[in-house]
Amino acid sequence: MDLALNLRGSYSLTRSCLAVTNHDGNRLTCLDYRTGEALWTQDIGTFSYAGSALGQQSDDIYTVSTTDKARVVAIDGKTGRQRFSADVPAGSYVVAAGHTVAYALAYGISGSRSSVIALDVSSGKRLWTHSSQLQLSLWGGHLIDVGMDGLARRLDR
C-alpha cells in the first residue's frame, strides 16, 4: 500500500499511533501506524507543545495549553481521553516522565530563573516545585540545577 500524508502541524510518536496536529494547532489526531487511518481526534484548544516525554513508559501525549492559563493536559494515546490536567507556568513543557511522575520545565525570560514542577501522572497533582537561580536542565535522564556559581547539581527528590 502506498500511503502519502500531507502533514502541516507538528507530530509525535506514541506507542499506539502517530499523533499529529492540524495547521492551526488546536486539534490532535492519532493515526494508525499501519493504515494511516485516524484512531481518534481531540480538540485541545491552543497549545504550545504536544508530544511524548523522555523516559515515558505510558502511551500518554502531553499538551501544554496557551489559553487563559497554561495547563499541562495528559491525553491517553490509545483512546484520546483526557487523563489529567494541571496548572503550570506559561512557557512550560513536559521534559520527562516515568511510571509515577512527569516533570514540566518552565524557563524564565531570557533564560533566567527556571522551574521544574513534578506532577503525579495518575492525578496531575503537583508533588513539588523547584526553582533555580539560573537554569534547570535534563542531562542523561537526571534533572540538573546549574547555579550562579557555574556548578551543575543533580536534583535528588
- When divided into structural domains, the chain yields a total of 1
How far apart are alpha carbons 64 and 85 in whole angstroms?
A: 9
- Classify residue 27: in a domain, yes or no: no
CA atoms within 13 A on the CB side of 52: 21
What's the domain range around 123? 46-154
- Classify residue 102: in a domain, yes or no: yes
Q: Are 59 and 52 in contact (CB under 8 A)?
A: no
| Residue 84 phi, psi (nearest 5) | -160, 165
> Is residue 23 predicted with pLDDT exceeding 80?
no
Percent of the chain clearing pLDDT 70 (strictly above): 85
- Classify residue 14: in a domain, yes or no: no
- Classify residue 12: in a domain, yes or no: no
How far apart are alpha carbons 93 and 38 in whole angstroms?
A: 25
> Domain with 146 in it: what CATH number?
2.40.128.630
- Classify residue 68: in a domain, yes or no: yes
What count of other Cβ atoms lies within 10 Å of the Cβ of residue 129?
A: 13
- Classify residue 141: in a domain, yes or no: yes
Q: Can you give the length of the chain in residues?
A: 157
Q: What is the pLDDT of residue 38?
A: 92
Question: What global pTM score does this model have?
Answer: 0.79
- Classify residue 24: in a domain, yes or no: no
CA atoms within 13 A on the CB side of 109: 0
**31-62 tens-digit pLDDT:** 999 998 999 998 877 766 677 777 777 888 88
To the nearest whole number, what is the mean pLDDT of the chain?
82
- Classify residue 66: in a domain, yes or no: yes
* Angstrom distances, CA of residue 58 to CA of 50, 55, 74, 138: 15, 9, 11, 19
Q: Are 64 and 47 in contact (CB under 8 A)?
A: yes
Nearest to 144 by CA among 114, 108, 101: 114
Q: What is the pLDDT of residue 157?
A: 60
**64-94 tens-digit pLDDT:** 877 668 888 899 888 989 999 999 887 788 8
| Residue 110 phi, psi (nearest 5) | 60, 30
> Is residue 134 predicted with pLDDT exceeding 60?
yes
